[in-house]
Chains A and B, each alone.
Chain A
């Protein structure tokens, strides 16, 4: 039998419901895993274990008395440290916020708490969800469990690392230009960016209001659906179509993103081709489809993101710029020089880009694209981090708001995860997750874990 920390969310939930696993036992095993693995991976900024223990104990008693409230009852969930957890600081991994304390839970945390989840830790992020991995901050950067010398992706770096390293079955991240899907790509996980507005941003420190999304990082697609059920307030069962597979689904493969617009690493490109053939073998109808060039989505995302972030950070950029890491300051400062007319051009072009993707969804049910163009680079290679960070195809769906999910699609010759991305029409997460699960089930990657030594 697997150690509790090795169980997926769904597996742990099933065992808890059958009284074969207690929430206390699960939490303690996860805390022991954190103690064993985190010193070399730096996923955790702050342990909140005493409250988590009280929550697990209460869950155990309630489940014994009346059964579980939901699939999340007694499940440990990590929280990216830009999301409020009542009574604790939300540092945003920054010296600017070390004195902060949240008075109440973010709405998404409150929904998870109401579903019975427990919260063992606040997790590392790139500073304010915009910096890169930095060594001049109060907390060290998280490292990739597949190879700790490598970058785990970001900005939800600690969330990706904690879930991939089996410290907890799931964690919350946020995604403004791809920040849930980036660590999912580099850590071999499922990273879901739901439709804009489906999950509340109340109590989440903003990066860019009109681009920010909250999403789960999990080890399986089923876990992602279970998390989304709770995070969206139980308005819909997003797991309802899991198991229906890919048969009959029309999937538009956006090849020009990784072949022409931003040529991908050869192993990544090969993984995408292999994945598309596997989807076809599973009954999907694959066609090549064109969208506007990646550079147009990236330009619009960048202009809007920097402008909106500048509003949030203007005061600190003027009064205490030294409190930021250098990389964060350099990413935030351009926003104070963007002309208003450029922001309006970007906002107007966003309308055109949304229309282009909507038109594509008249022809196909889903889009298949690259997520990252490269496997994770070394974390201490500043030039490589800067060069590879924007080499991705995630921002289009922050610009348009459509839901998108990244899943593992292979391993590079260097032993690092490769990935793909699927996107679907707005508010069709059940369809998106059905397709992702159909691929996940047919592909051999679901149970691959980082080669950690404990």
Chain B
């Protein structure tokens, strides 16, 4: 990942201060997520509902 992208992602997450104090931890976190994304099953089934699902409260 290039430095500009890295900086943009850190800014978007609001982690500028944390990245200054723990740059390796923040860089590792981005690498971890990139690795994990590759392993995540991605169904293309349009009607597959998430769990837990939303239920309107009953009175």
Q: B22–A299 contact, CB under 8 A? A: no
Residues of B contacting A321 in the complex (Cβ-Cβ under 8 angstroms): 18, 21-22, 25
Q: A317–B33 contact, CB under 8 A? A: no
Q: Is A354 an interface residue (CB 8 A)?
A: yes
Q: Is B52 an interface residue (CB 8 A)?
A: yes
Q: B25–A345 contact, CB under 8 A? A: no
Q: A342–B29 contact, CB under 8 A? A: no
Nearest-neighbour CB distance to chain B for A196, whole angstroms, equals 9
Residues of A contacting B49 in the complex (Cβ-Cβ under 8 angstroms): 348, 351
Residues of A contacting B41 in the complex (Cβ-Cβ under 8 angstroms): 296, 299-300, 345, 349, 352
Q: Is A65 an interface residue (CB 8 A)?
A: no
**Chain B residue at minimum C-beta to C-beta distance from A401:** B51
Q: Is A295 an interface residue (CB 8 A)?
A: yes
Q: Is A336 an interface residue (CB 8 A)?
A: yes
Task: Kindly state the separation between the CA atoms of A322 and B20 in the bound complex, as whole angstroms.
Answer: 12
Task: Kindly state the separation between the CA atoms of A354 and B22 in the bound complex, as whole angstroms.
Answer: 38
Q: B17–A342 contact, CB under 8 A? A: no
Q: Is B40 an interface residue (CB 8 A)?
A: yes
The number of chain B residues with a CB under 8 A from chain A is: 28
Task: Kindly state the separation between the CA atoms of A296 and B40 in the bound complex, as whole angstroms.
Answer: 7
Q: Is A344 an interface residue (CB 8 A)?
A: yes
Residues of B contacting A352 in the complex (Cβ-Cβ under 8 angstroms): 41, 43, 48
Q: Is A391 an interface residue (CB 8 A)?
A: no
Type the 1/0 row for B1-32, where 1 means its CB is closer than 8 Å to any CB of A. 00000000100011101100110011011101
Q: Is A113 an interface residue (CB 8 A)?
A: no
Q: Is A443 an interface residue (CB 8 A)?
A: no
Q: A336–B36 contact, CB under 8 A? A: no
Nearest-neighbour CB distance to chain A for B14, whole angstroms, equals 6
Q: A344–B43 contact, CB under 8 A? A: no
Task: Kindly state the separation between the CA atoms of A351 and B30 in the bound complex, as whole angstroms.
Answer: 27
Nearest-neighbour CB distance to chain A for B46, whole angstroms, equals 10
Q: Is A303 an interface residue (CB 8 A)?
A: yes
Q: A330–B29 contact, CB under 8 A? A: yes
Residue of A317, A345, A350 touching B18 (CB-CB under 8 A): A317
Type the 1/0 row for A346-390, where 1 means its CB is closer than 8 Å to any CB of B. 111111101000000000000000000000000000000000000
**Chain A residue at minimum C-beta to C-beta distance from B24:** A330
Q: Is B58 an interface residue (CB 8 A)?
A: no
Task: Kindly state the separation between the CA atoms of A333 and B31 in the bound complex, as whole angstroms.
Answer: 11
Q: B33–A334 contact, CB under 8 A? A: yes
Q: B22–A346 contact, CB under 8 A? A: no
Task: Kindly state the separation between the CA atoms of A339 and B9 in the bound complex, as whole angstroms.
Answer: 11
Task: Kindly state the separation between the CA atoms of A346 and B37 in the bound complex, as whole angstroms.
Answer: 10
**Chain B residue at minimum C-beta to C-beta distance from A400:** B51
Name B's A-contacting residues (CB within 8 A): 9, 13-15, 17-18, 21-22, 25-26, 28-30, 32-33, 36-37, 39-43, 45, 48-52
Closest 5 CB pairs of A and B: A347-B50, A333-B29, A350-B51, A334-B29, A299-B39
Name A's B-contacting residues (CB within 8 A): 210, 295-296, 298-300, 302-303, 314, 317-319, 321-322, 326, 329-330, 333-334, 336-339, 342, 344-352, 354
Q: A345-B42, A348-B51, A351-B51 are in contact. List 6 more A-B contacts (CB 8 A).
A: A317-B18, A330-B25, A333-B25, A334-B33, A342-B37, A351-B49
In the assembled complex, 21 residue pairs joining A and B whose CB atoms fall closer than 8 Å, in A order, are A210-B51, A314-B14, A318-B14, A318-B15, A319-B17, A321-B21, A321-B22, A322-B21, A333-B25, A334-B29, A336-B29, A339-B37, A342-B37, A347-B50, A348-B48, A348-B51, A349-B42, A351-B48, A351-B49, A351-B51, A354-B51
